[in-house]
Amino acid sequence: ARALVLNGPNLNLLGTREPDVYGAQTLDDVAALCRKTGEELGLDVDFRQSNHEGVLIDWIQEAGTAQASGELIGAVFNPGAYTHTSVALQDAIKGVGLRVIELHISNVHTREAFRHRSFISPVAAGIVVGFGTQGYALALRGLRDLAER
């Protein structure tokens, strides 16, 4: 089975972007961690990043079709700043019934007030927040467990 790992805007800058907040690991390091975790779980990890809201929406819609056919178990999704702004991403997830684990590298609740609201949480099956990039491994395990329930 396949698991999608989706990353939104500015996550291509991981490693150099605010390392005190997001750590030293690059997005390539995170992709490698996800693939290794996928091997342990028997999952093919499909790892993607886009800075564009519409591209993320297209990928979510395609993932809904793949999940419905049983080929995909769902997605780990770090929506970046779109977390706090995007009704369209919420609608896409809800519209196709995609199983999503929302993930944030930082603990958004200890940060600015505008990061405390998430448009994704109401349509997420689970949420992983504040574990650094290691959270991606936790989220993949959680996704697999929820999909097997």
Residues that bind ligand DQA (CB under 6 A): 10, 78, 80-81, 83, 104-106, 108, 115
Active site residue 136: no
102, 80 Cβ separation under 8 angstroms? no
Give the torsion sign (CA, 38, 43, 44, 48). negative
Could you confirm whether 22 is annotated as catalytic? yes
Question: Could you tell me which residues come within 8 angstroms of residue 94 by beta carbon, excluding any fewer than 6 positions away?
Answer: 123
Task: Report how far residue 21's alpha carbon sits from residue 4's, in angstroms, rounded to the nearest whole number.
Answer: 25
* C-beta separation of 76 from 99 below 8 A: no
Write down the least CB distance from residue 1 to ligand DQA, Å. Answer: 25
Query: In angstroms, what is the minimal distance from the CB of 65 to ligand DQA?
Result: 26
Tell whether 48 is in a known binding site: no
Are the CB atoms for 143 and 3 separated by under 8 Å? yes
In 3D space, the residue among 130, 136, 132, 125 whose CA is nearest the CA of residue 111 turns out to be 130
Catalytic site residue from 22, 52, 109, 136: 22
The answer on whether 51 is annotated among ligand-binding residues is no
CB of residue 108 to ligand DQA, shortest distance in Å: 5
> Binding site annotation covers 52?
no
Minimum CB distance to ligand DQA smaller for 30 or for 72:
30
- Establish whether 84 is an annotated binding residue: yes
User: Any idea how long the chain is?
Assistant: 149
Of 48 and 68, CB closest to ligand DQA: 48
* Residues forming the active site: 22, 104
Binding-site members are 78, 84, 91, 105-106, 115
Binding-site members for substrate are 78, 84, 91, 105-106, 115
